[in-house]
Amino acid sequence: MKTKTLNRNFIFLVIGQASSMFGTVLLKFTVSLFILDLTCSAALFGTITAISYLPPIFLSPIGGIIADRNDKRNLMIALDSLYGIMAVLLALSLSFSNVFVLITVIMVGLSIVSSFETPVVQSSIPLIQEKESLIQSNAIVSQINMLANLIGPLLAGLLYSAIGKAYSQNVRIIFWGCAICFFFAAILEAFIKIPQITLPPISNPLHAIKNDLGESFHFLTSKQVYVFKAILLNAAYFG
């Protein structure tokens, strides 16, 4: 049953999301520093970084469809577990000679997982919160994401400078720490109770994507005032 903003389910979701987000940002930024230090090539570093941004562009619509039609709690547990497994693989990959290839593949894997995680978390909030608390709840989750993206790179830079270099096995300590963050998030998410919503099965995935995008476009065009305000707020924040 839904209650006030800081109910049990939302608290577990927030703590799990905080642990997962900080782990994700810390892991990705550390890997970026590792690749740059390992290759000494800004061009190669930029190419790999650009490739890692491609999966969310193409897979986010599919992630939304999957999030709407499956058990959201189980999806969150599975995604954070995958994050944790990839962090463990990163730590173990340092022992191999072709570490660069392995890290590149895992970087792409991290981006693929992130394409599905965001829609799952966002679509879970309305199911565990009262309508009157949605704005505050979404703001809390957004603030966590902002803090993670602000503090994560700074922490990654400090830790990498202190204990890890491309030719030092000590960098695996950071990867193991990230793995702990992900598995901790998955454990917390196992205690979240999210009501199930039954939707018709997907007979044509492309048709489902088209319908979802159409509904999103209709919402944006019907709420132009709010969209304009959001653009101004983002421009003021990032400007």
pLDDT at residue 1, as a whole number: 43
User: Distance between CA 177 and CA 182 in Å, rounded?
Assistant: 9
Task: Give CATH superfamily name and number for 8-199.
Answer: MFS general substrate transporter like domains (1.20.1250.20)
- Smallest CA-to-CA distance from 140 within 121, 114, 154 is with 121
For the whole model, what pTM was predicted? 0.79
User: Span 176-198, mean pLDDT?
Assistant: 90
- Smallest CA-to-CA distance from 99 within 51, 157, 150, 171 is with 171
Residue with structure tokens 């978390």? 121
Q: Taking all residues of the chain, what is their mean pLDDT, rounded to a whole number?
A: 80
Q: What is the pLDDT of residues 33-59, one digit of tens each?
A: 888 887 787 787 788 778 877 877 777
Structure confidence at residue 18 as a pLDDT band (50, 70, 90)? very high
